[in-house]
Amino acid sequence: MAELIVALDVQTREEAVEKVKLIGDPVGFYKIGLELFTAEGPDVVKAVRDLGKKVFLDLKFHDIPRTVERAVRSGGKLGVDLMTIHSVGGRAMIRAAADAAAEFGEAGPKILAVTVLTSLDQGDLEDVGISGRTPAEQVASMARFATECGAHGLVCSPKEVGALSGVLKAGTLFVTPGVRPAGAAVGDQKRVATPADAVRDGATHLVVGRPVLAAENPCDAARAILAEMNAVS
Ligand code: C5P
């Protein structure tokens, strides 16, 4: 069954803890990204874990293999469940991340590869030297490459999941942001899908931020999304 991850896109540990408590039992998984981690560091990871929640640490590592290996090891020591790397970091870097995660056994962090940032279009790819391929072709190629090198899964748009889930090995994790319940404000997301569509297409984890955090009643908003997900799985 697919899991809901709420993106804790807030600025302070106090706000993060307040939101997690407010949402309560329905949600067991939270994403801590660059904004919150840069402000509050490992303490905020510990605070969310102390509330009994799983943590997706979304820092998108891209560095030499040794540095990424050591950063993943630090994440494993913090007890996080999911971490992100950029697949353009290359074969040795992805393998180093996966090997460091494996040191923690089954309970250790799972490594998710970012393929092509959804903010990039064809022109942006050409600017960085990737020509002759559409973003979709580049995503598919990077996804195969990253999972062959040991990444446990991918962060991808819900619009990409359907095409990828059929061609990658069974058990690959598909973590999709850009999810909006029917009728919710889209905000700056451009290519959105409903929770039901994302699950139907093969997403294993749905990342949702504003539709939950900015709701009048975040707990009810999360429950509504979970109901939509569970109606499919
Ligand atoms: O508020 P919203 O539901 O749009 O939040 C989605 C979360 O997923 C944010 O933390 C955002 O940074 C992240 N994300 C995304 N699109 C990607 C990758 C990550 O929206 N392609």
pTM for the whole structure: 0.95
Helix, strand, coil percentages for the chain (3-state, nearest 5): 50, 15, 35
For residue 183, pLDDT beyond 90: no
- Determine the Cα–Cα distance for residues 88 and 67; give it in Å rounded to an integer: 15
> In the Cβ-directed half-sphere of 162, how many Cα atoms lie within 13 Å?
8
For residue 233, pLDDT beyond 70: no
Q: What pLDDT is stored for residue 188 in this prediction? A: 78
Q: Candidates 4, 5, 9, 36: which one to mutate for ligand 1, based on the most atoms within 8 Å of Cβ? A: 9
177 lines ligand 1 (CB under 6 A): yes
Q: Residue 90 class from Cβ within 10 Å (0-12 exposed, 13-18 middle, 19+ buried)?
A: middle
Q: What pLDDT is stored for residue 117 in this prediction? A: 87
For residue 26, pLDDT beyond 70: yes
Kindly state the average pLDDT of the residues 125-132: 90
Confidence category of residue 114, pLDDT binned at 50, 70, 90:
very high
32 lines ligand 1 (CB under 6 A): no
Kindly state the average pLDDT of the residues 56-81: 98
Q: Which of the following CATH numbers is that of domain 3-232: 3.40.50.1100, 3.40.50.2000, 3.20.20.70, 2.40.30.10?
A: 3.20.20.70
Domain ranges in the chain? 3-232
User: Is 60 among the residues known to form the active site?
Assistant: yes
- Residue of 60, 110, 169, 190 marked catalytic: 60
Beta pairing partners, 57 = 32, 83
Q: What is the mean pLDDT of the chain?
A: 94
Kindly state the average pLDDT of the residues 34-41: 97
178 lines ligand 1 (CB under 6 A): yes
- Determine the Cα–Cα distance for residues 37 and 39; give it in Å rounded to an integer: 5
160 lines ligand 1 (CB under 6 A): no
